[in-house]
Amino acid sequence: MGKKELETRLIHSYFDRKQHYGSLAHPLYQTSTFVFDDAQQGEARFSGNESGYIYSRLGNPTVSELEKKMADLEEGEEAIAFASGMAAVSGVLIHLLKAGDHILISEGVYGCTFGFLEMVKEKFNIDFDLMEMNSENMIRTMIRPETKVLYVETPINPTMKLVDLEMVIKIAKEEGIRVVVDNTFCSPYLQQPLTLGADYVIHSATKYISGHGDVIAGIAVGPAEEMETIRMTTQKDIGGVLGPFDAWLLLRGLKTLALRMDRHCYNARYVFDLLKDNPNVKNIFYPGDPNFSQHELAKRQMKDFGGLISFELQGGKEAAQRFMNELKVIQVAVSLGDAESLIQHPATMTHSVVPEVERKKMGITNSLVRLSVGLESPKDVWNDMKQAFDKTYAKV
């Protein structure tokens, strides 16, 4: 048999039940350390002359299984599981950058990624520029001799702008620059940047990979030799490792990723079709909108359009917050990709760390809200939004 389809690999890849007493479910190795047969074996493992587990900060069977599965799903060589999405972001960027280097970032990047970049700029003289990566000429004019990384979110949080990965990767290869793609909004089910030539893929596994709102975790996938360097330096010494129980929860969540993503995408389309005619909505940012400026790119680059919709409401921040407060089914919370529909106000929540001038350049206005459409009945999600619209604008 050839390579199995992704839906099958989500459930079966890298799990040999014979090694685990025939257990149908993934075993959980909830241990901090591992016992050696004797002192000589301990020496051999620490020296690298014998493979095997030592201490769960350096490796754990449950975590290793998750890493192998994620590398397979992203069509990469090796993956590392981190304690959070930001641990994955910082781990990869610290590995790739040094003092004096420069990084180009897609405009609208996640607020904590922006905060991390501000910190390393101040403390370690690693410069960065935010930019709309929407043309080859624009990107080339922003590249400096010291530019080492092009860092891309696509879709971008929360404006849903896309970056043409084939274009960016082509430029980067010609210029000898590494490409890092945050694939959180898509998961490997909707998009696989490594197959297009990206060097690294990063996930906040807290989101769609988990799918149940009960884990904080990150994943990075990339070239085996470099990932091993990250594992044994940046991750080991800074310590942003994932615990085995969280890895076990992610392995469980991955089994339903395909089903969940299909439902998220279906529900988001349902909500969009009704939202687009609402007179209280000024602008909608959703790749599945035929009028979305990058709709054709979304069709080419993504398997489906995802479960996120951002939109601006008439009446600014006050109306946006009033609308959110009237919701009953949809929960006011940051994060995304959970079974529950979640809504948040980026300007005062996820992107509040970003200076207002930069937020406006990113397109993050005070009237913008971001909706992560969950797995509930789409009728109930829309009815909840409709009653919130009615109550909000009845009070104006």
CATH number of 313's domain: 3.90.1150.10
- Burial letters 248-261, b for 16+ CB under 10 A, else e: bbbbebbbbbbebb
315 shares a domain with 249: no
Catalytic residue among 45, 207, 263, 370: 207
324 shares a domain with 178: no
Which of 215, 238, 254 is where one domain is finished? 254
- Split into its structural domains, the chain has a count of 2
Q: What is the pLDDT of residue 200?
A: 98
174 shares a domain with 39: yes
Q: Give me the mean pLDDT over the 109-135 stretch.
A: 93
201 shares a domain with 294: no
Whether residue 344 is contained in a domain is answered as: yes
**Residue 218 pLDDT greater than 60, yes or no:** yes
For the stretch 276-299, pLDDT in tens is 999 999 999 999 999 999 999 999
Catalytic residue among 29, 45, 72, 110: 110
Cα 156 from Cα 159, distance rounded (Å): 6
Cα 283 from Cα 86, distance rounded (Å): 30
311 shares a domain with 189: no
Catalytic residue among 9, 14, 55, 57: 57
271 shares a domain with 230: no
Contact 332, 324 (CB under 8 A): yes
Q: What is the pLDDT of residue 395?
A: 54
**Residue 26 pLDDT greater than 90, yes or no:** no
**Residue 56 pLDDT greater than 80, yes or no:** yes
Contact 217, 35 (CB under 8 A): no
Closest CA to 340 of 301, 305, 393, 380: 380
Q: Where are the alpha helices (DSSP H) in the chain?
A: 6-12, 39-47, 61-73, 85-96, 111-124, 136-142, 165-175, 187-190, 224-230, 236-238, 244-254, 257-275, 295-301, 316-326, 356-362, 378-394
Which of 254, 270, 304 is where one domain is finished? 254
Whether residue 1 is contained in a domain is answered as: no
| Residue 255 appears among annotated catalytic residues | no
| Residue 68 appears among annotated catalytic residues | no
Q: 3-state class of 200 per DSSP?
A: strand
Confidence at 22, pLDDT banded by 50, 70, 90: confident
Closest CA to 254 of 187, 167, 165: 187
Confidence at 320, pLDDT banded by 50, 70, 90: very high
Catalytic residue among 101, 164, 182, 246: 182
For the stretch 353-390, pLDDT in tens is 888 888 888 889 999 999 999 999 999 999 999 999 99
Which of 254, 279, 306 is where one domain is finished? 254
CATH classification of the domain holding 56: 3.40.640.10
Q: Give me the mean pLDDT over the 44-64 stretch.
A: 94
| Residue 110 appears among annotated catalytic residues | yes
Provide the residue range defining the domain that includes 60: 6-254
81 shares a domain with 175: yes
Confidence at 20, pLDDT banded by 50, 70, 90: confident
Q: 3-state class of 138 per DSSP?
A: helix
Q: Give me the mean pLDDT over the 82-103 stretch.
A: 97
| Residue 207 appears among annotated catalytic residues | yes
183 shares a domain with 62: yes
